[in-house]
């Protein structure tokens, strides 16, 4: 797949053109040098920001989305960087390059070329932060063998990170962190891992802020100017990666330093400065079994609903409240943590996936085993130990066999997916059209079997079931 093309004359559609220039290194170039470029195809213009990459090197990255000749000219407050111009040819995308993921038909997703995409996410918040290359390679190998095609991952450190190898900002300890300068080594490494995910066909759902620092590094209580300074640099460096999503904050309501109005402003800043309009959302916290302060996803700068909640049955009400895709990015984790959010069984995780998807939503996975060789997957990656992963792979296979919007397909009488959860029906009735014929399949979501029901059916139909939990019924119009 297409990665960085250093001043290449041919870049594939949704690939990455990179212009590299030399400029001033004295003072603080991160703050003092402004750089952007005007890319033009016929009368269509895109203007991404450039960024300082250390040692006098400046870069401008651009993701073209139209085949043909693009011209560019740079703009800067420094003479050495201003007015540089050239052109390149954008060619058709390669076979595995489908472009960025977009919202399609209100509730589902597709790549920009129209290829359907269903997010089967997982969480590895800080798998790139520990300075353990072997562990990171093991994480990538585990992902390669898994059903997961989206990873939630953080940029900023947490309080528990006493001595991370690299930070977003210059500095190595709380006393010397300089939030007016960035650490190019951190970003070069982080970008390598985003590219690794892209090569595996995995979306990088980047968590831009979180509440877990509690003032230790000083990254969750930055002032408004520092927040936007950070965001603008991140967007300049990372928005040209086609597999990027923006998650403004994890558990935003747990951050006591910011108000909802602050988050509104920051999300709109991302919307304004991202030339490619990657997917944008924000993720709520929840006091388990007490309350859940879900963000108002009707706001126009939000593309999809990113939710933390343990009850997948609420998917229906969330869909009805906002005509946007529902992604329950945190539905608790399979594992044996002492925390309630981190010790559900593999059977329960599988159940919650099926419950949400049968109602038209998507779910994110996570593992929190604290006594395994590589410990908690959600923080460090490594190996996957849980029993749900292979069942989620089975679910993904079944879902991708059906229509991309299975709820609308059921409304049209073309396809159905009914899930019975913990109930143990001996039989059920399904209401089918009198004017069409259907075939039925009984799915055991835990044993991973699909059993056809003999015959074809129409009208109100009684279906005998095995009388055990974790069953689903799939309905196909002939």
Residue 11 has pLDDT above 50, yes or no: yes
Of 2.60.40.3950, 3.30.420.40, 3.40.1390.40, 3.40.1010.10, the CATH number of 413-477 is 2.60.40.3950
What percent of the chain clears pLDDT 70, i.e. is strictly above it?
97
CA torsion, ordered 302, 208, 64, 191, to nearest 10 deg: -150
pTM confidence score: 0.95
Confidence of residue 288 (pLDDT cuts 50, 70, 90): low
Rounded Cα distance, 218 and 26, in Å: 26
Q: Which CATH class is domain 101-403?
A: alpha beta
Rounded Cα distance, 248 and 36, in Å: 24
Rounded Cα distance, 352 and 359, in Å: 11
Rounded Cα distance, 309 and 316, in Å: 13
Residue 458: phi and psi, rounded to 5, are: -155, 165
Confidence of residue 338 (pLDDT cuts 50, 70, 90): confident
Using alpha carbons, list the distances in angstroms from residue 40 to 72, 352, 394: 6, 47, 45
Task: Tell me what the mean pLDDT of segment 334-350 comes to.
Answer: 92
Mean of pLDDT over the chain:
95
Q: Residue 430 forms beta bridges with which residues?
A: 461
Domain ranges of the chain: 4-91, 101-403, 413-477
Residue 286 has pLDDT above 90, yes or no: no
Rounded Cα distance, 184 and 170, in Å: 9
Residue 348 has pLDDT above 50, yes or no: yes
Residue 1 has pLDDT above 50, yes or no: no
Confidence of residue 292 (pLDDT cuts 50, 70, 90): low
272-282: pLDDT as tens digits: 999 999 999 99
Residue 13 has pLDDT above 70, yes or no: yes
Rounded Cα distance, 409 and 219, in Å: 46
107-135: pLDDT as tens digits: 999 999 999 999 999 999 999 998 999 99
Q: Do domains 4-91 and 101-403 have the same CATH topology?
A: no
Cβ within 8 Å of residue 127, ≥6 positions away: 135, 136, 139, 151, 153, 193, 379, 380, 381
Q: What is the secondary structure of 182-236 as a DSSP string?
A: E-HHHHHHHHHHHHHHHHTT-EEEEEEE-S-STTSSS-SS--HHHHHHHHHHHHH
Cβ 420 vs Cβ 446: under 8 Å: no
Of 3.30.420.40, 3.40.30.10, 2.60.40.10, 2.30.30.790, the CATH number of 4-91 is 2.60.40.10
Residue 410 has pLDDT above 60, yes or no: yes
Confidence of residue 291 (pLDDT cuts 50, 70, 90): low
Q: In what order do the strands lie in the sheet with 471-477?
A: 415-419, 471-477, 438-444, 449-452
Q: Which pair of tokens denotes residue 251?
A: 């558990």
Task: Tell me what the mean pLDDT of segment 454-470 comes to.
Answer: 96
Task: Tell me what the mean pLDDT of segment 98-107 comes to.
Answer: 98
Is residue 355 helix, strand or coil?
helix
How far from each other are the two terminal CA atoms of the chain, in whole angstroms? 38
Q: Residue 307 forms beta bridges with which residues?
A: 328
Confidence of residue 4 (pLDDT cuts 50, 70, 90): very low
Task: Tell me what the mean pLDDT of segment 59-64 comes to.
Answer: 98
Residue 305 has pLDDT above 80, yes or no: yes
Burial class (CB in 10 A: 0-12, 13-18, 19+), 82: middle
Using alpha carbons, list the distances in angstroms from residue 351 to 78, 94, 388, 395: 58, 37, 9, 11
Confidence of residue 35 (pLDDT cuts 50, 70, 90): very high
Nearest one of 162, 159, 163, 151 to 127, comparing CA atoms: 151
Q: Which pair of tokens denotes residue 238?
A: 């990372």
Residue of higher predicted confidence among 165 and 274 = 274
Burial class (CB in 10 A: 0-12, 13-18, 19+), 115: exposed
Question: Residue 290: its pLDDT value, please?
Answer: 62
Question: Residue 2: its pLDDT value, please?
Answer: 40
Task: Tell me what the mean pLDDT of segment 264-291 comes to.
Answer: 90
Question: Residue 5: its pLDDT value, please?
Answer: 43
Residue 261 has pLDDT above 70, yes or no: yes
Residue 395 has pLDDT above 70, yes or no: yes
Task: Tell me what the mean pLDDT of segment 185-201 comes to.
Answer: 98
Task: Tell me what the mean pLDDT of segment 51-66 comes to.
Answer: 98
Q: Residue 182 forms beta bridges with which residues?
A: 169
Confidence of residue 204 (pLDDT cuts 50, 70, 90): very high
Residue of higher predicted confidence among 288 and 468 = 468
Task: Tell me what the mean pLDDT of segment 335-354 comes to.
Answer: 93
Rounded Cα distance, 401 and 389, in Å: 19
């Amino acid at each position: 797949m297409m990665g960085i093309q250093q001043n290449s004359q041919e870049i594939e559609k949704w690939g990455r053109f990179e212009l590299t220039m030399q400029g001033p290194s004295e003072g603080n170039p991160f703050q003092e040098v402004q750089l952007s470029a005007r890319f033009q195809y016929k009368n269509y213009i895109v203007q991404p920001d450039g960024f300082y990459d250390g040692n006098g090197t400046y870069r401008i990255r651009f993701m073209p989305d139209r085949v043909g000749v693009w011209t560019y000219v740079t703009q800067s407050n420094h003479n050495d960087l201003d007015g540089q111009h050239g052109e390149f040819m954008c060619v058709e995308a390669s076979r595995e390059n489908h472009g960025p993921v977009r919202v399609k038909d209100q509730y589902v997703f597709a790549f920009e070329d129209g290829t359907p995409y269903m997010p089967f996410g997982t969480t590895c918040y800080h798998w790139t932060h520990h300075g353990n290359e072997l562990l990171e390679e093991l994480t990538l190998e585990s992902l390669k063998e898994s059903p997961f095609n989206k990873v939630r991952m953080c940029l900023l450190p947490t309080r528990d990170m006493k001595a991370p190898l690299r930070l977003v900002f210059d500095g190595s300890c709380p006393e010397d962190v300089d939030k007016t300068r960035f650490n190019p080594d951190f970003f070069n490494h982080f970008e390598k891992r985003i590219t690794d995910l892209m090569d595996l066909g995995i979306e990088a759902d980047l968590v831009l802020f979180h509440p877990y620092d509690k003032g230790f590094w000083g990254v969750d209580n930055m002032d408004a100017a520092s927040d936007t300074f950070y965001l603008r640099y991140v967007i300049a460096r990372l928005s040209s990666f086609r597999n990027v999503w923006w998650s403004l904050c994890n558990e935003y309501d747990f951050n006591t330093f910011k108000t909802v109005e602050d988050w509104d402003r920051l999300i709109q800043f991302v919307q304004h400065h991202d030339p490619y309009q990657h997917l944008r959302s924000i993720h709520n916290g929840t006091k388990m079994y007490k309350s859940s302060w879900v963000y108002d996803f009707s706001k126009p700068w939000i593309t999809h609903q990113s939710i933390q909640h343990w009850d997948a049955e609420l998917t229906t009400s969330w869909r009805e409240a906002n005509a946007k895709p529902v992604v329950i990015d945190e539905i608790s984790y399979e594992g044996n943590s002492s925390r309630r959010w981190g010790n559900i069984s593999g059977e329960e995780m599988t159940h919650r996936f099926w419950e949400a998807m049968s109602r038209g939503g998507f779910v994110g996975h996570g593992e929190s085993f604290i006594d395994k060789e590589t410990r908690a997957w959600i923080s460090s990656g490594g190996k996957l130990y849980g029993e749900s992963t292979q069942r989620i792979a089975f679910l993904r296979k079944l879902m991708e066999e059906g229509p991309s919007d299975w709820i609308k397909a059921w409304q049209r009488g073309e396809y159905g997916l009914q899930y019975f959860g913990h109930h143990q029906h001996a039989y059920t009735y399904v209401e089918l059209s009198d004017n069409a014929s259907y075939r039925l399949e009984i799915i055991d979501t835990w044993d991973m079997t699909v059993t056809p029901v003999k015959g074809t059916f129409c009208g109100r139909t009684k279906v005998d079931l095995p009388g055990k939990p974790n069953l689903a019924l799939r309905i196909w119009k002939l």
